[in-house]
Amino acid sequence: MSASWVYFAIYETISPFPLERFVNKKNIKAAKVVLDMAQRGIREYDAKRLLAGFLPQYLKEFSYKGDLALVGPETDLEELASVHPWLKTSKLVVKPDQLFGKRGKYGLVLLDADWDSAKKYLQENMGALVTVGNITGRLSHFLIEPFIPHEEELYVAISSESDGDNIFFSMKGGVFVEENWDSVIRFHVDLLDGIEGIDIKSRLPEGLGEKRVAVENFIKALWRFYADSGFCYLEINPFTFRNGSIVPLDMVAKLDDAEEYWQRKRWLGLSFPEPFGRTLSKEELFIKELDSKTGASLKLTILNPEGRVWTMVAGGGASVIYADTICDLGHAREMANYGEYSGDPNTEETYYYTKTILDLMTRHKDPRGKMLLIGGAIANFTDVAKTFKGVVMALEEYQPKLQEAGVKIYVRRGGPNYEQGLKLMRNLGKKLGVPIEVYGPETHMTRIVPLALGGALQ
């Protein structure tokens, strides 16, 4: 087994987009929902809630109650304690719940605490700036659970790959499982055959003794729960036995958000948080907001606001390739943004998208001037002339600023009605007195990158 799945365990998430659509999905068309589909990390709080809520359907003897309290920046702690009376009576564990791992290693876990010291810990750490790996961000969410004294630390994880799921088990769970990788047993579950016929018990370590039956039943139930609840990664490290029943201590999970339609009951109240340390700028938030209100796709990430090369590329595939080419030609430092627009945005949407980029790129002056690449592949059915309308509106509006900032524009696009679209751009250049070079499908898609960067950035 490669190290790749271990990497999964080192928490990382995929998408910067929170799951607004669970809250307000009426406004969002189906076409949009599917565009952002991916594997997405969930809070340990939600993962354990799902486990406590639904694993008993597969494992009657699973008695974990799921005493869990999530503290966010707005949480009223006294009110929380009245909803969860155990907070005042039990010994507690408090830890950040923001999709990053190795919390113990960073000294962020409070163990065996009473309510007063938990509160004190929360007051001290809420909003604190911490650095995890190479990402710095603010702590905003904490999970509080009863403290479970334990010695035994077991490990179980399930991951997916194309031909089936893999279950990993080890008796040497906890923070050192990666170092003890030899102790990990792997069970492969063929998706078409299921787990029924797999002999787990006889492959479990002797050391488990009488618990082998319980562990086998737990693993089988856990896989069914995993398969039925929309998971694509799940790790309980460690779990332990308390009075003969299994208790999860630390848990990580990712869901396939494409399952939303099938999981709407199980996933009720669940949220997909922003990755740790990612705060959006005002402009990124604006585009995100715009994106959430339409069936089209509008994405913007600012990489370097003082960069001289700005891109406005139609289509997800093409946008990556333009960014690639800028980097491959050695100008990564000058790349100001990454983004794309696709899915037939209307004139208003392309206008605002363009305007946002023009505003950003004309803010900082650079004596060497700036470049805007309006690129794209050959569209299937999108009317190129029509989509350029909003772009043209914004460019007209920003004419003085574009001139002032010495912006040169390079256009490349193909597809239905492209001749007219390109003509529109050519004429605009003459009208605005802003240099606009325009190319169609006869020119290689990314050729405008060396054309723009060739002379100017040397």
Partner 1 sequence: MSETSKKSYVLFDRNTKAFVYGYQTNAIQRMLDFDFICNRPEPSISAIINPSRAGIHKAFWGTKEILLPMYKSIPLAAKAYPEGDVMVNFASHRSAFDTTMEALAEDSIRIVAVIAEGVPERQSRIMSLTARKQGKMVIGPATVGGMTAGAFRIGNTAGTIENIIASKLYRPGCVGFVSKSGGMLNEAFNIISRNSDGIYEGVAIGGDRYPGSTMLDHILRYEENPAIKMIACLGELGGEDEYRIITALKDGRIKKPLVAWVTGTCSPVLPASVQFGHAGAKADTQKETAQAKNDAFREAGAFVPQSFDGYGDTVRRVYDMLLSQGKVAPLVEPEVPKIPADYSKALASGDIRKPTTFICTISDDSGEEVLYAGKRLSSVLEEKMGIGGVIGLLWFKKELPEYAVGFIELVLQIVADHGPAVSGAHNAIVASCAGKDLISSLCSGLLTIGPRFGGAIDDAAREFKHARETNMTPEQFVKEMKRKGINIPGIGHKIKSVKNPDKRVQLLISYAKSNFPSTELLDYALQVEELTTAKKGNLILNVDGCIGILFLDLMKSCGVFSQAEIDEVVRLGYLNGLFALGRSIGLIGHILDQKRLGSRLYRHPADDIAYMMPSKDEIRCKRAA
Classified as helix, coil or strand, 281 is coil
Contacts of 180 (CB under 8 A, 6+ apart): 170, 172
| CB of 325 vs partner 1, minimal distance in Å | 5
Considering the complex, what minimum distance in angstroms separates the CB of residue 273 from partner 1?
11
Q: What number of CA atoms fall less than 13 Å from residue 130's CA on the CB side?
A: 21
- DSSP 3-state of 378: strand
Q: Tokens for 208? A: 């488990």
CB-wise, 90 or 446, nearer to partner 1?
446
454 in helix, strand or coil? helix
How many Å is the Cα radius of gyration of the chain?
A: 26
Q: Which is nearer to partner 1, 130 or 395 (CB)?
A: 130
* Token pair of 149 as six digits: 């004294």
Helix (H) or strand (E) holding 328: helix 316-328
Q: Closest approach of Cβ 436 to partner 1, in Å?
A: 21
Closer residue to partner 1, CB minimum distance, 389 or 447: 447
Could you tell me the smallest distance in angstroms from the CB atom of residue 189 to partner 1? 11
Nearer to partner 1, 33 or 175 (CB): 33
Cβ nearer to partner 1, comparing 54 with 64: 54
Distance in Å, CB of 4 to partner 1, minimum:
5
- Interatomic CA distance for residues 168 and 182, integer angstroms: 11
Is 61 or 161 the residue whose CB approaches partner 1 more closely?
Answer: 161
Measured from the CB atom, the residue of 74 and 442 that comes closer to partner 1 is: 442
- Locate tokens 């405008």: which residue? 448
Residue 365 to residue 306: CA distance in whole angstroms: 8
Nearer to partner 1, 216 or 260 (CB): 260
CB of 243 to partner 1, least distance (A): 35
Q: How far is the CB of 54 from partner 1 (least distance, A)?
A: 16
Q: Pinpoint the alpha helices (H) of 230-302.
A: 260-263, 282-292
Looking at the DSSP bridge assignments, the partners of residue 376 are 314
CB atoms within 10 A of CB 391: 26
**In terms of CB distance, is 15 or 75 closer to partner 1?**
15
Please name which of 391, 315, 396 lies closest in space to residue 357, comparing C-alpha atoms.
391
Measured from the CB of residue 216, what is the shortest distance to partner 1 in angstroms?
23
CB 239 within 8 A of CB 246: yes
Minimum CB–partner distance for residue 195 and partner 1 (Å): 14
* E strands, 330-434, in order: 337-342, 370-376, 407-412
Residue 351 is inside which H or E element, if any?
helix 347-361
